[in-house]
Structure 1
C-alpha cells in the first residue's frame, strides 16, 4: 500500500532547543536506513521549513511505525493513497452501481 507521510518539527521552547534538535536529526540521518520492507519513492523537504513529505510503499505497518518513532523530533501525519487510475476505476464502479439502482 502507498502512503504519503507529512512531517513537521515539534515546537520547542527556545532557539537552543531547536538547534539541538536539528543537530540530532542530522546525526541520526547520517546512519539511518529505511527498513527493507519500505520503498521510498519520493523524500522531499519543504524549503525554508523543517518538515516535508515522503511517498512510500509498504505492507509492513510495524516498519512504518518504527520509521516515524525513530524521528521523535517530528510530528507525523500518515495518509494512505492510491494511484489516480485506481481511484477513477473505483469511482466509476461506484457510479455505475448507484445508477443501476434506478431513480427515486
Structure 2
C-alpha cells in the first residue's frame, strides 16, 4: 500500500428493527404498503456485505448481520423506513472478544497490589 492509500476496515453490525406504533388498523395497513413501496426498489450499496437478512415470523421486525466500511451508509439504511425503530449495534466475533478480554485480565493481574 503506498502512502496515498489507507486500508479501510469494515465493521460488522447487527441491525434490528421493530415497527413503531401506528395507531388504527388502517394506519398499520397504510404503513405496510408504504414500507413495501419504499423497500422494494432498494438495492444494498456495494460496500454492504450482508451475511444474514431475516424477519421474525409473525412479527413486524427482523435482523440483519452485515459488514460495512462506512457508518453513514448504515445510518442511511436505518433512516430509510421511519415506520420502524432501528438499532445498529457494532459486533465482533466471540473469539476476538475473548482474546481481548483475556488480554485485559492479564493486564489487571499484572498490576502491583
How far is 1:37 from its partner? 1.4
Count of aligned residue pairs for this structure pair: 103
TM-score, normalized by length of structure 1? 0.92
- Segments of 5+ residues of structure 2 without an aligned counterpart are 1-10
Q: Map residues 1-104 of structure 1 onto 2, 5 A cutoff.
A: 1-102=11-112, 104=113
Cα separation, 1, equivalents of 2:28 and 2:37: 14
**Structure whose residues are more often helix by fraction:** 1
Cα separation, 1, equivalents of 2:85 and 2:50: 19
What value does the CA root-mean-square deviation take over the aligned residues?
Answer: 1.1
Cα separation, 1, equivalents of 2:105 and 2:36: 49
- Segments of 5+ residues of structure 1 without an aligned counterpart are none
Q: Do the aligned residues in 1 keep the contact of 2:13 with 2:89 (CA within 8 Å)?
A: yes
- Secondary structure of 2:96's counterpart equals helix
- Secondary structure of 1:32's counterpart equals coil
